[in-house]
Amino acid sequence: MRVPVWLRPVLFLVMLLIIWEIAVRTHPGLILPGPIAVFAGVLELLHHGLLLKYVVASLFRVTWGFVLATITAIPLGLALGWYRRGEMAFNPLSQIFRPISPLAWIPIAILWFGVGDLSSIFLIFVGCFFPLLLTAMSAVHNIPAVYIHAGRNFGLSSAAFVARVLYPAVIPQLLVGMRITLGVAWLVVVAAEMIAVNSGLGFLIVDARNAGNRYDLVVAGMVVIGVIGLLLDLAMRSLEQIKSFRWRSLED
């Protein structure tokens, strides 16, 4: 009997969980809890109302940091990509700051904003700003010259040129860059919450480790982080399927 394609990943995941549980029961000395214990940990967090509280806190910080980076980095990147002199002036500075890990900014973030949401939002903003900036600049560079010449030959106004040439040409690459950067934001918020705040999924992991080595809750937090990260990625991928965001909209 042939297994449907959509069912294969589910069966593979179930098989991994079974192997995981058998390995834990076979070697009881392992610190790593099994999937049954992890599931019980998730239920415990739900029962005490902590899971929803921490998920909302993490998503709140990611949303603000990612949105602020998007509305600042993308317009700036598009402008720098279009005006090459501006890019030549700004590029050395961006290349210096881009390799610096967002986590290296934690002491400065705490110094500026204290321990709380603003510190995490700032770290997420820093982690997202430069990838989005470079993505926007690259998107402008990759616009086919034939579209630019056609827009100019038809005498399009600046607003019409942006709406009918620039926007449909850059939006597919921007969506890909935003999708990747959102994953970076989710990574940064978990790390920041382990140090700079007292709530969120990152804090949950550290707090569970310190509260009597509750590794079932540690792994439960890790599983929740992975599931939410997957859902965020699927949400961004769904945007790529919207007709108005596809490359062929340039030819409509």
**Per-residue model confidence (pLDDT) at position 98:** 86
**Per-residue model confidence (pLDDT) at position 245:** 55
Helix ranges (DSSP H) in the chain:
8-26, 35-47, 50-82, 84-97, 106-113, 117-141, 145-153, 158-161, 167-193, 201-210, 215-239
| Confidence category of residue 251, pLDDT binned at 50, 70, 90 | very low
| Confidence category of residue 250, pLDDT binned at 50, 70, 90 | very low
- Does position 54 have pLDDT exceeding 70, yes or no? yes
- Does position 79 have pLDDT exceeding 70, yes or no? yes
- Does position 192 have pLDDT exceeding 80, yes or no? yes
**Per-residue model confidence (pLDDT) at position 246:** 53
For the 37-251 domain, the top CATH level (class) is: mainly alpha
Helix, strand or coil for residue 164?
helix
User: Among candidates 205, 245, 236, which has minimal Cα distance to 41?
Assistant: 205
Mean pLDDT to the nearest integer, 6-20: 85
CA distance 65 to 58: 11
**Per-residue model confidence (pLDDT) at position 71:** 94
- Does position 43 have pLDDT exceeding 60, yes or no? yes
**Per-residue model confidence (pLDDT) at position 243:** 54
| Confidence category of residue 63, pLDDT binned at 50, 70, 90 | very high
Q: Which residues contact 106 (CB under 8 A, 6 or more apart)?
A: 119, 123, 192, 195, 196
Q: Are 131 and 185 a contacting pair, CB within 8 Å?
A: no
Domain ranges of the chain: 37-251
User: Among candidates 136, 174, 171, 168, which has minimal Cα distance to 151?
Assistant: 168
**Per-residue model confidence (pLDDT) at position 249:** 41
245 versus 66: the higher-pLDDT residue is 66
**Per-residue model confidence (pLDDT) at position 65:** 94
Mean pLDDT to the nearest integer, 89-95: 85
Which tens digits make up the pLDDT trace of 204-219? 988 888 877 788 889 9
Which tens digits make up the pLDDT trace of 135-191? 999 888 888 887 777 777 777 676 777 777 787 888 888 998 999 999 999 989 888
**Per-residue model confidence (pLDDT) at position 244:** 54
